[in-house]
Structures are given as C-alpha cells and as structure tokens.
C-alpha cells in the first residue's frame, strides 16, 4: 500500500510589539554586529516568498532589541535530528510563555506586501550573521583560554544499555546467532562457480555441544552430499553437518565439526505464555545481510500456516506465531526473541504480496510466521537423540483443499489406500470417510492444514476430543493420537 506525505499549512507569523521611536540610551551593538547594525548574509536565510511583519526589517537597525517570546531560533545545519519533542500544551518552558498564550498585538499599520518579504529576509540575514559571529567568537576564545571548555561526546561502547532495551537484548544475543551457508552438489562452499545450488539462512546456538537449531528448508539442499558452513557474528567460520531434519515441522539440527569452547546457547522461552501485543526481536541475515536486527510485536497466535520451500513440492505445517517484525528471505531459521532475550520461535515463513506463503524473494509486508519454540524444542530433542522426527497422527487422510467448513476425511488415501487407517486412532474413534472434523480439543478447525497444524502441536499418546459432522448432525469422539516416525 503506497502512502503519500501531506504538507501542513504554514501558520501565520506572530505579530511583534511596536517599534520605539528612539533607541535606549547607552545601548551598544551585540557581538557580530557593526555599529550600523549591518550584517552579511548567513546560513538559514529563507527563500523568496516568505512573509513576516514589517517590524522585523528594523532588526538590523536595533541590535539591542531582544527576540520576541514565541519566536524559535532558526535551525542550523548539523543540528540533531530528530528535533527534541515539542513542549506539552498548557505550559511554557524555560521561562517562556505557555503554548497558546496571547502575543501582544501590534499597532495597526499599513504596509505593502513587498515590504513584508523584504523585512523577513533582512531579519533572517541578521540572525545568520549573529549566529556566525558568536560561533567564531566562541571558537577563538577557546583557543586563547588556559583551560578547554570543549565537552567530549561519550563513545557508544561507554554508554550503558538498560536491561530489556532492544540494544541490550541484541548485544547479548548476536554472538549466539549464526549465518548458515548451504551448497548442494560437488565443489563445496569454496568450490568453483556452478558447483551446486547455494543459499543463505540463519540459525542459533542450541547447546554447548555445538548444536545449531534452524529450518529444514535452509539446509535441505546441502543435506545429501552438499556442504554447510556456519559463520558467527565475529566473522569466525566453522564447517557443520546435519544431525537430523524434519521436513513436516520445518526444523533441522546441525552440529559444528570443530565447536569452539565457550559457546553460549540462547535461553529458550515458553511460547505457550506469549500473548498478542508482546514485543518481539528478530535476528537474521535477510538477503544475506548478516546480524540484522528488527523489532515488532506478536500480531496473532495459533495461526495455521502451510509453507513450502519452492522446490520439493512438500509443505510444512505449523500453528505459528505471527509477528510484524521485518522478516525476509535469509531470516529463516533465526530466533524470534521476546523482550527478555529468550527465544519464543524460529522464523520460518512470510506472507508475500501476490505470491502466497513461502520463501520467495519478495520482501516483508509485515506478516511473518515463526514455529513456536515449545514445538521446535521437542522436535530438536528427537533429532539429536535419534536423527529422525516423530509426528502425532490420527490415522486418517483429510482433504487439504477445502477451507472454511472444516477438515473433511477424504474418500480414499494416497495411491488408493484406505482413507481411514484400519485399527488406527480415527477408526477406533468411529470416524469414517466423508466426516467433517470441525473441532480439535478447544480449537476450531476450518481446513485440513489447520487440523494438521493442531495435531502436530501435540505428542503421540495425547487424548483429544474431536468434534465432527456426519449427515448434518454434530458428534464428538475421543481420539488417542498415534505416531509416525520419519518423513514420508
């Protein structure tokens, strides 16, 4: 969605008190002015078309007159940006008038418009001359003084970041976040060009033994005969190998071949305790830009997402955490942190305008999805222990195309097999082909992907109450989830 800037109307210039007929006795020009009050043009003079009351034209003749309350000094080049916040309405700061306080009205005078333009121009030139004169005078005085009055800026490394700030969280987490380079085929990562498909993703230190947690689709191209390399934020590079990967969950575990001592695993949070509106911090290598930090909030929970790697034709399913933190290709496998720095998810997929869910090269539109860390941790432990994932199943094939009316059990399974596995969990619960599952525990089911996401959020052996419709009537059944080992 494109946006356009709209300019604000320029307020009318405030009036100034009438000019006295004579100057006060004993007055003298201020620094930077000649006795006649003339001044060379300085920076900050407005261009043609600016307006002001004609009294400003006399400023060059009366350098003793102080600026009127309510007039802001001109912004000088090099001033800090953004400017400091405006004062609150209803109170004047530093002895100035309250915002909205009346300004003394000027005596009615008749002046031509041309005189107004000339007046503001002269006033600006005088202000510029005074500013330049004072700046030069201050610098010259400092050179001649016995003690310097220069104040040194505090370097960034000397500034203390309070715990919980983005800077503090990122500074602590970055050394444990890695950029993953994956290359398939012969030649390795440093081999000749064309040696295989290459890609970049992200991961993070899972334990002190050198295990790295990431997405399956980050390393899938290098899993069979390819090469993997892990680069830390300090630039040090290590070879790695795949310990195990789960295509359905989109989770993979790597291990450094020569893990350095002193690895600091990122602390794991509790994704079940996350609520909408919680702050999030994502770290990754979007489009190859390593050590990139972005921020946002949790936009939604339990978002059913089916994502593909664009090459295998197989989808991964997750009941995802949705975030508006900027996530782009290359962020995949990186940590999604909460405000304390604990990992609450693994960034995995984005919604791209016009391209659906996946890992296409389109950029972030503020819809990113992360695998909840509670689920990812369970999968990671399985992969480290056995090298193979374990999936919870109900023993029924559901239609993955229908949406909005529930998950319909298909008429037959893949390759003409039975849609309801004989003696499987669904069969034991009495489900049949054509039944439409509309509830899984306390979760509403509107499609096949939503059902799979919810099933895989549980463990084999969990007992779940299913709600389903048959012949227009609603029924309930208790199902004890079965298991399937490995990716089919």
Residues labelled as active-site residues: 217, 250, 332
Are the C-beta atoms of residues 337 and 280 closer than 8 Å to each other?
yes
CA trace torsion 265, 267, 272, 277 (10° rounding): -120
Give the whole-angstrom CA distance, residue 82 versus residue 84.
7
Per-residue H/E/C for 124-141? HHHHHHHHHHHHHHHHHH
For the beta carbon of residue 297, count every other beta carbon within 10 angstroms. 13
CA distance 327 to 320: 14
The b/e string for 251-262 (b: 16+ C-beta within 10 A; e otherwise) is bbbbbbeebeee
Helix (H) or strand (E) holding 194: none
- In angstroms, rounded to a whole number, what is the distance separating the alpha carbons of residues 411 and 400? 13
Q: How far is residue 133 CA from its own chain's centroid?
A: 46
Query: Tokens 């191209």 label which residue?
Result: 221
Query: How would you class 15 by CB atoms within 10 Å of its CB: exposed for 0-12, middle for 13-18, buried for 19 or more?
Result: middle
Taking the C-alpha atoms of residue 131 and residue 77, their distance in angstroms, rounded to an integer, is 12
Alpha-carbon distance of 189 to 231, in angstroms, equals 12
Which residue's structure tokens are 């300004």?
A: 103
């Amino acid at each position: 969605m494109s946006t356009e800037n709209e300019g604000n109307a320029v307020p009318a210039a405030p009036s100034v008190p009438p000019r006295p007929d004579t100057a006060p006795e004993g007055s003298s020009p201020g620094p930077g002015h000649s006795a006649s009050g003339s001044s060379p043009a300085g920076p900050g003079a407005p261009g043609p078309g600016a307006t002001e009351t004609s009294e400003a034209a006399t400023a060059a003749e009366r350098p003793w007159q102080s600026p009127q309350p309510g007039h802001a000094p001109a912004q000088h080049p090099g001033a800090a940006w953004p400017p400091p916040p405006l004062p609150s309405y209803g109170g004047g700061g530093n002895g100035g008038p309250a915002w909205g306080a009346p300004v003394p009205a000027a005596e009615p005078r008749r002046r031509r418009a041309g005189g107004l333009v000339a007046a503001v121009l002269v006033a600006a030139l005088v202000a510029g001359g005074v500013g330049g004169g004072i700046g030069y005078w201050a610098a010259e005085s400092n050179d001649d003084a016995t003690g310097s009055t220069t104040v040194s800026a505090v370097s960034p490394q000397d500034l203390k970041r309070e715990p919980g700030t983005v800077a503090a969280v990122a500074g602590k987490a970055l050394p444990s976040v890695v950029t993953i380079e994956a290359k398939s085929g012969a030649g390795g990562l440093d081999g000749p060009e064309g040696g295989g498909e290459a890609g970049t993703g992200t991961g993070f230190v899972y334990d002190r033994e050198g295990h790295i947690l990431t997405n399956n689709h980050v390393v899938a191209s290098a899993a069979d005969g390819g090469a993997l390399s892990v680069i830390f934020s300090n630039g040090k590079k290590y070879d790695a190998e795949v310990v195990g990967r789960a295509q359905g969950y989109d989770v993979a575990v790597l291990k450094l071949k020569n893990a350095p001592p002193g690895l600091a695993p990122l602390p794991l949070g509790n994704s079940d305790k996350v609520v909408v509106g919680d702050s999030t911090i994502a770290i990754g290598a979007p489009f190859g830009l390593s050590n990139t930090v972005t921020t946002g909030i949790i936009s939604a929970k339990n978002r059913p997402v089916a994502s593909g790697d664009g090459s295998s034709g197989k989808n991964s399913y997750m009941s995802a955490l949705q975030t508006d933190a900027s996530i782009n290709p290359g962020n995949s496998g990186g940590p999604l942190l909460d405000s304390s720095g604990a990992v609450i998810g693994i960034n995995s997929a984005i919604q791209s305008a016009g391209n659906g869910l996946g890992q296409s090269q389109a950029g972030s539109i503020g819809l990113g999805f992360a695998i909840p860390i509670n689920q990812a941790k369970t999968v990671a432990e399985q992969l480290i222990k056995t090298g193979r994932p374990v999936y919870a199943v109900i023993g029924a094939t559901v239609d993955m195309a229908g949406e909005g009316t529930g998950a319909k059990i298909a008429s037959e399974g893949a390759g003409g097999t039975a849609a309801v596995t004989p003696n499987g969990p669904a069969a034991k619960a009495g489900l049949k082909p054509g039944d439409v599952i509309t509830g899984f525990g306390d979760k509403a089911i509107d499609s096949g992907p939503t059902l799979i996401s919810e099933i895989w959020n549980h463990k084999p052996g969990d007992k779940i109450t299913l709600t389903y419709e048959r012949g227009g009537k609603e029924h309930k059944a208790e199902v004890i989830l079965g298991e399937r080992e490995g990716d089919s």
